[in-house]
């Protein structure tokens, strides 16, 4: 699942390549993917891509001109807001998607771009699996900030994480950190990583932390997301792989030794979620073994 670092890297690389590219055509083979109809996606034809940004775990692709121009909006500025959900990716291809490509959800054909590419490319929102949960909304600039998906986002987790006294006291730390209305950008992977970094038990109640622990957790968010983005982003190039390499230490590493203390990393499962932690570093040596704990992952 792409979280803040992966989405930030995607935005930077695509923006550097595609700024100034002109849209030839835009369509949505994923019938359920577009959640807005005005302006229609095909109004992007003739528009210039003005940049790719990020808010929380969402991508914002800016456009201006072309079919977006109206009497009320002579500059024709609009943003395609995209949420990749768990299995979506926004990637750039030099080959056209075939009609048979079942992963294509939104296809934007472009010419040119800031990287000097000479020819036609496709910016494609693709999604693995048969479920269509990734979504897009094409919003005029005047309507963007009022969109409830942006309006309800909490403060950005990076580059300057908020004071964590904002975490709802009765929620588990892992649940509160992943709630986009509380802090924007962190999901399962980075919640596990920052709690491990701060040596704090993931299922503690947010209100139980003392000031030092809250400060340590905030610093862990800053340090680990910095590590995953700053410097690292410069080592990656387009085309991005389906599974972007990320510097994980515990999430997805259950059964392996903790890189800090050597104890075995454990995991708690709930439905498709897997929470990884180190018992020595985080839970006073005690594993979460009771079924009660897996239910807490719902929070
Ligand atoms: Zn450890």
Number of domains in the chain: 2
Contacts of 215 (CB under 8 A, 6+ apart): none
CA 264 to ligand 1 center in whole angstroms:
8
157 falls within a domain: no
CA 244 to ligand 1 center in whole angstroms:
25
**Residue 17 sits in the same domain as residue 133:** yes
The dihedrals phi and psi of 179, each to the nearest 5 degrees, come to -80, 115
Q: Are 154 and 133 in contact (CB under 8 A)?
A: no
Mind listing the pLDDT tens digit of every residue in the chain (299 residues)? 899 999 999 999 999 999 999 999 999 998 899 999 999 999 999 999 999 999 999 999 999 999 999 999 999 999 999 999 989 999 999 988 887 888 999 999 999 999 999 999 999 999 998 788 999 999 999 999 999 999 999 999 999 999 999 999 999 999 999 999 999 999 999 999 999 999 999 999 999 999 999 999 999 999 999 999 987 777 888 888 888 888 899 999 999 999 999 999 999 988 888 999 999 999 999 999 767 777 777 77
Residue 194: CA count within 13 A, CB half-sphere: 35
Q: Residue 236 has what pLDDT? A: 85
**Residue 232 sits in the same domain as residue 278:** yes
Domain hosting 76: range is 4-151
Q: Are 198 and 186 in contact (CB under 8 A)?
A: no
CA 292 to ligand 1 center in whole angstroms:
23
102 falls within a domain: yes
Q: Which helix (H) or strand (E) holds 84?
A: none
CA 220 to ligand 1 center in whole angstroms:
15
**Residue 140 sits in the same domain as residue 50:** yes
CA 289 to ligand 1 center in whole angstroms:
17
Which of 151, 179, 207 corresponds to the end of one domain?
151
Report cis status (omega within 30 of 0) of the bond before 34: no
CA 268 to ligand 1 center in whole angstroms:
16
Question: How far from 92 is each of 30, 127, 143, 254, CA to CA, in Å?
Answer: 17, 14, 27, 33
Which of 151, 185, 201 corresponds to the end of one domain?
151
CA 198 to ligand 1 center in whole angstroms:
11
Q: Residue 52 has what pLDDT? A: 98
β-sheet bridge partners, residue 80: 61, 138
**If you count them, how many residues does the chain have?**
299
Question: Could you give the 3-state DSSP secondary structure of residue 121?
Answer: strand
Contacts of 233 (CB under 8 A, 6+ apart): 8, 9, 12, 13
CA 262 to ligand 1 center in whole angstroms:
6
Angle between helices 188-197 and 211-229 (to 10 degrees): 120
CA 277 to ligand 1 center in whole angstroms:
8
**Residue 15 sits in the same domain as residue 147:** yes
The dihedrals phi and psi of 173, each to the nearest 5 degrees, come to -60, -45
**Residue 130 sits in the same domain as residue 32:** yes
CA 227 to ligand 1 center in whole angstroms:
19
Q: Are 23 and 46 in contact (CB under 8 A)?
A: yes
Q: Residue 241 has what pLDDT? A: 83
Question: Could you give the 3-state DSSP secondary structure of residue 189?
Answer: helix
The dihedrals phi and psi of 111, each to the nearest 5 degrees, come to -120, 135
Q: Residue 290 has what pLDDT? A: 65
Global confidence as pTM: 0.94
CA 203 to ligand 1 center in whole angstroms:
16
CATH code for position 19? 3.20.190.10
Q: Are 190 and 4 in contact (CB under 8 A)?
A: yes
For β-strands 48-55 and 58-64, DSSP reports them as antiparallel
CA 282 to ligand 1 center in whole angstroms:
7
287 falls within a domain: yes
Q: Residue 261 has what pLDDT? A: 98
Question: How far from 230 is each of 163, 222, 233, 236, CA to CA, in Å?
Answer: 22, 11, 6, 11
**Residue 127 sits in the same domain as residue 221:** no
Contacts of 96 (CB under 8 A, 6+ apart): 109, 122
**Residue 24 sits in the same domain as residue 142:** yes
Give the span between the Cα atoms of 85 and 134, in whole angstroms: 5
| Residue in 114, 133, 147, 137 with CA at minimum distance from that of residue 12 | 114
Which of 104, 126, 151 corresponds to the end of one domain?
151
């Amino acid at each position: 699942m792409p979280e803040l670092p992966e989405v930030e890297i995607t935005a930077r690389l695509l923006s550097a390549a595609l700024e100034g590219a002109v849209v030839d055509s835009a369509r949505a083979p994923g019938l359920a993917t577009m959640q807005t109809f005005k302006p229609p996606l095909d109004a992007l034809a003739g528009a210039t891509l003005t940049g790719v940004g990020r808010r929380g775990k969402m991508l914002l692709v800016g456009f201006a001109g072309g079919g977006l121009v109206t009497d009320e909006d002579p500059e024709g500025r609009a943003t395609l807001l995209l949420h990749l959900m768990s299995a979506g990716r926004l990637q750039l291809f030099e080959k056209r998607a075939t009609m048979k490509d079942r992963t294509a959800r939104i296809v934007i054909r472009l010419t040119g771009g800031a990287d000097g590419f000479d020819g036609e490319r496709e910016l494609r929102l693709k999604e693995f699996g048969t479920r269509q949960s990734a979504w897009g909304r094409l919003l005029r600039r005047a309507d963007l900030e009022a969109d409830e998906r942006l309006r309800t986002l909490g403060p950005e987790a990076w580059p300057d994480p908020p004071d964590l006294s904002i975490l709802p006291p009765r929620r588990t730390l892992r649940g509160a950190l992943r709630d986009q209305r509380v802090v924007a950008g962190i999901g399962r992977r980075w919640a596990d990583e920052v709690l491990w970094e701060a040596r704090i038990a993931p299922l503690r109640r947010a209100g139980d932390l003392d000031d030092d622990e809250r400060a340590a957790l905030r610093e862990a968010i800053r340090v680990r997301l910095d590590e995953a983005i700053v410097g690292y982003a410069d080592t990656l190039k387009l085309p991005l792989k389906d599974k972007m390499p990320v510097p994980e230490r515990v999430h997805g590493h259950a059964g392996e030794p903790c890189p800090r203390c050597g104890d075995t990393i454990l995991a708690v499962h709930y439905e498709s979620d897997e929470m990884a932690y180190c018992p020595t570093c985080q839970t006073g040596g005690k594993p979460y073994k009771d079924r009660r704990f897996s239910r807490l992952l719902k929070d």
